[in-house]
Structures are given as C-alpha cells and as structure tokens.
Amino acid sequence: MSTILQAIRKYANERSELVAFRGENFTGEEQTLTYAELLDRIEDAAEVLQRQNARCIALKAENSLDWIVADLSAMLAGIAIVPIPTFFSDQQVQHVLTESGADVLIGDWQGYGEVVAHLESLPVYKRAVSGTDKILPGTGKITFTSGSTGTPKGVCLSVMNLERISTTLAAEIKGQSHRHLILLPLSTLLENVTGIYVPLLLGVTAVVFRGSRLGLSGSSQFDARAFTGALVAQRPDSLVLTPALLMALIQIVQAHPELAESLNFVAVGGARVAAELITRAHQLGIPAYEGYGLSECASVVSLNTPFASKAGSCGKVLPHMNVALSADNELLVRGNVALGYLGEPFSGEWYATGDIASLDDDGFITLQGRKKNQIITSFGRNISPEWIESQAQVFAPGCTLVVTGEAESRLSAVISPQENIADKIQKFNDTLPDYARIHRLLVVPELRTKQHWFTANGRPVREVIEHWVRQTLAEQPYFCSQTDCQLINIQSSVMATL
C-alpha cells in the first residue's frame, strides 16, 4: 500500500479524532473530516470505482473535500486518474479525454451521458472508449502540462513518483505547517501534492474551499477582498502561491500587517520570482521561499527553506533529485523522473528540462528562462524574456508584460495599462544593462482578454505576440533614443479586430 495511504491508516488508528481536512464538499456544504472518517470514505469510494471497472478516471471539478476523496480512492483502487483543470477549453478537455482514454468521468460532466453512480456528492459517468491504449504501465496519475498550445501533453506518473516527492517535501517543511490553506486548483500537480499528500504524511490539517470563495477564479481572475477575507478567517501557517499571488499578498500585508503573523512557510513557484520581491516579503514578515519544479519530475525539484535560502534563486536541489548543466547551460535532472508521456516512455539517464539555469558553489539553482523562449537580438545577444518580465514586477506590480524582440536591434514589450507606466518602465530600464532595456512599450487595453495570446494557465503564446508586435511596429514611426522608452497606446478598436 502507498505510504500516503499508510499514513492515513496510521493516524486513523492512533489518533482517530485528528482532523485531516476542513472545508466544503462538491455541493458547498461545510464539513470536517477526521483521519478516521477520511479513511472510511476513501475505502467506500474505492469500492464504487471498482464496481465501474474503471481503467482511467477523468476528474473535473472545483476544489472540495469530495475532490480529495476521489483522488485518494483512485490511488487505493489502483486506477489511473487524470485531474482536469476547470479552466481548460472544450478543445483541451476533448484532447485530454482522447489521449488518456478515460472511461469513467467524475464531477462536472453534464452532457456526457447518464449519471451511473455518485462518489460522495460527485456524479459519476461512464464513457465509451475506443482506440490505442497510451497509458504507460505503472501509471497512477496523468497530469497534463498546458504548454504553449491547445494540445497539452499527458505526463504519466507512478504512485512511487508521488510518494518520493511528498515524502521529501514533508521532511523539508516538518514543523513549519500545521494548518495549510489550499489556494491553487487541486488539478494543479503542485497543489495536489502539497495540499493533500504532504499534509497527510505530516498528520496535519488542510483547509479546502472552491476558488471563488478564496478570491481565485479560472486561471488568472483574482479578487483581493475575498482573498483577504480567507486569510482573516482561516489564519493558515502555510500556503503555496504563484508569483502573482505573492505580489497580491505583499500588498495585502502592507495594509494588514497582522495577517503575516500566522504564516510559517509560503512556497512560491510556477514562474521566476524577482529577488526584490522575496526580500520585500521577508521584510513584511512573509516567510516566502521560491522553488522550482516540473510535471515530468512530479513537481518540485529544488526549494529554498528557512534553513537554506538565497533570494533570486529557486533553492537547493531536493535530496531525492540530482541535477547537472549541459554545455549550453540547460538544466538536466534525474532521480524522480516520470514514466513518460502518454504513449512515449522516457529513456536515458538524464531528462532535459528545457530551462536555462546556473548552479552556484553553494548548490543553489538560479533559472534564466526557457531555452525555447530565448530572444536573439540582431546584435547576437541571447536574452531570456522571463528574466526581464519577472524583474519588471518590482516596478510595475500586477502588470502583465510580455517582452519581444527576436532578430531586432532593441527590445519591445506588450503591457497592460497602468498609471504612469512609461515612467515606471523608464526607472526599470535604468537598472538593466543596455541590451536588455525596453525601448518600445505597446500598451494594450484588456490585454488578458486576448485568449489566443495566452495559454489556459496564463502563459504567453510568444510566437503569436511577437508576430503581432512586428506587424504593429512596421506601421509606427520609431523615434526613441538610446535611453528613452517610446510609449505606443493601442486603441481598443484596433484590438477588437484581432
């Protein structure tokens, strides 16, 4: 039996009244689950799944206690499960179902046939499947990376992959977390691991509510008031945040310093974080620690901790992993690599991450950006746009900014409107080397509504944006000097035609 399930059984037998999860179920009813109650529900749910003769389960629902029970019952029943983000487009959902061959659907699947059973309060549907079986032997979970297209790739992870990362993280943060607030969607592998498996191994309590109650909707909609209310009501001591949520937390704590008092450990991941933001968080009493990971390694690869931390880095490699750098500084990893993609088993000793990084003498990893995203200017300079974009958040917090400039002599950026944005970017430019400065700033109203410019989880589709910028600038006069930044306001009427 999985060490995660063994931990549940251990706490259920030894401390039956210990609370495992608090929050709401699929229908919105608030509940508390002790470890003993959780074990009973998992065992009952596993029997429901086994009666369906499920080969692969697709779980699509908002965060809830029932989501957690469904996930753990699939593990107990030995059935592969594929969590699907609720913000995936219909095209992406169909792609996931086709690729995974899921024959049992749980959760929000209206229009996919008749309900054949219920798992807690989650409806269960049967789905006819035909085609080639792509699930790799030993797969316990399939997680789909959003990538830069509408056809994400399915990563096949074994239960052992999940156990290794969960056990390591539990050891790294032991004593730091007793009340974890689940913020990110549980369909995100990072929160799936840190919000469910790690707390269970530690024997602590996690709190789960649907995203809208916590101020989070879809892939990037945010309500600061609801987020603040959740922090006031729950007083968590641990959180997992994206860089955008860390910036929001910094602003909230500036107004309400007491909200940082309960926090012991705030992990930040999903994109590069400027060192200044980590430093600012610590100055406010927010114990923020950047980490790095990828689905192909079951999430976290490296992590800063209270015992070993360096702002601007993504921490030291975790004990169960090994890393190396290729001749062109691409980060290579081994130690907890996935089984492979659906229909494509991995081979070879090392997995090439596609990330450009450096490794200092103390063992801290610092990311530069994605290898495929590197901009090569007409002067032959290699520039990682993620580096500039993350640093820009220090001067224009909360602003969406995408850097372009492939084969150009100078860089440009598409940016969402913000008061005094040209002055802010000019101050930012003063901190950068000349080759990395932004010389043309295209201010685009309602930037995030241009859906074909961003993936489902909010990452820019760079080749599309780069093409648009090149076309737009061809029609604009260029007059900025070596140091000034030209501001170009794009009219809403122009954007409406895209």
Domain harbouring 418, CATH code: 3.30.300.30
Q: In angstroms, how far is CA 419 from the centroid of its own chain?
A: 29
Q: Which two tokens stand for residue 322?
A: 């090994």
- Measured CA to CA in angstroms, residue 202 lies from 140, 169, 249, 455 at distances of 22, 10, 26, 35
User: Which pLDDT score is estimated for 468?
Assistant: 93
**Kindly report the CA angle at 174 between 183 and 65, in degrees rounded to 5?**
35
Shared domain for 233 and 312, answered yes or no, is yes
Tens digit of pLDDT for each residue in 391-429?
Answer: 999 999 988 999 999 888 889 999 999 999 999 999 999
What CATH number is given to the structural domain containing 150?
A: 3.40.50.12780
Dihedral-angle region of residue 235 (phi above 0 means left; psi in -120 to 50 means alpha; beta otherwise)? left
- Answer whether 227's CB lies under 8 Å from 214's CB: yes
Domain boundary (346, 366, 386) is at 366
Domain boundary (366, 390, 415) is at 366
- Can you tell me which residue has the tokens 């309602």? 446
> What DSSP letter does each residue of 22-90 carry, written as one string?
EEE-TTS-EEEEEHHHHHHHHHHHHHHHHHTT-SEEEEE--S-HHHHHHHHHHHHHT-EEEE--TTS-H
Range of the domain at 295: 3-366
User: Which pLDDT score is estimated for 478?
Assistant: 52
Strand bridging mode 375-376 / 382-383: antiparallel
Shared domain for 333 and 311, answered yes or no, is yes
Shared domain for 317 and 415, answered yes or no, is no
User: Which pLDDT score is estimated for 176?
Assistant: 86
User: Which pLDDT score is estimated for 148?
Assistant: 47
Q: How many CB atoms lie within 10 A of CB 474?
A: 8
Burial of 294 (0-12, 13-18, 19+ CB in 10 A): buried
Instruction: Return all residues near 108 (Cβ < 8 A) that are at least 6 apart.
Output: 60, 61, 62, 86
Beta bridge partners of 181: 207
Shared domain for 57 and 186, answered yes or no, is yes
Compute the CA torsion angle 442, 445, 451, 456 (nearest 10 deg).
Answer: 90
Shared domain for 174 and 201, answered yes or no, is yes
User: Which pLDDT score is estimated for 145?
Assistant: 75
User: How far apart, in whole angstroms, are the C-alpha atoms of residue 10 and residue 236?
Assistant: 25
Tens of pLDDT along the chain (498 residues) come to 799 999 999 999 999 899 999 999 999 999 999 999 999 999 999 999 999 999 999 999 999 999 999 999 999 999 999 999 898 878 889 999 999 999 999 999 998 888 999 999 999 999 999 877 999 999 999 999 755 445 678 999 999 999 999 999 999 988 888 999 999 999 999 999 999 999 999 999 999 999 999 998 766 678 999 999 999 999 999 999 988 899 899 999 999 999 999 999 999 988 788 889 999 999 999 999 999 999 999 999 999 999 999 988 999 999 999 999 999 999 999 999 999 999 999 998 999 999 999 999 999 999 888 888 888 887 678 888 988 998 999 999 988 999 999 888 889 999 999 999 999 999 999 988 888 899 999 999 989 888 789 887 678 999 999 999 998 988 765 554 445 678 888 875 444 444
Domain boundary (366, 385, 410) is at 366
Shared domain for 137 and 247, answered yes or no, is yes
Helices (H), 256-316: 275-283
Where is 464: in which H helix or E strand?
helix 462-474
User: Which pLDDT score is estimated for 146?
Assistant: 59
> Per the structure, how many domains does the chain have?
2
Shared domain for 315 and 381, answered yes or no, is no
Please, what sign has the CA dihedral across residues 101, 92, 272, 229? negative
User: Which pLDDT score is estimated for 494?
Assistant: 44
Shared domain for 85 and 158, answered yes or no, is yes
Shared domain for 279 and 206, answered yes or no, is yes
Burial of 126 (0-12, 13-18, 19+ CB in 10 A): middle
Shared domain for 354 and 421, answered yes or no, is no
Shared domain for 275 and 387, answered yes or no, is no
**Kindly report the CA angle at 358 between 337 and 332, in degrees rounded to 5?**
20
- Answer whether 272's CB lies under 8 Å from 355's CB: no
Shared domain for 281 and 422, answered yes or no, is no
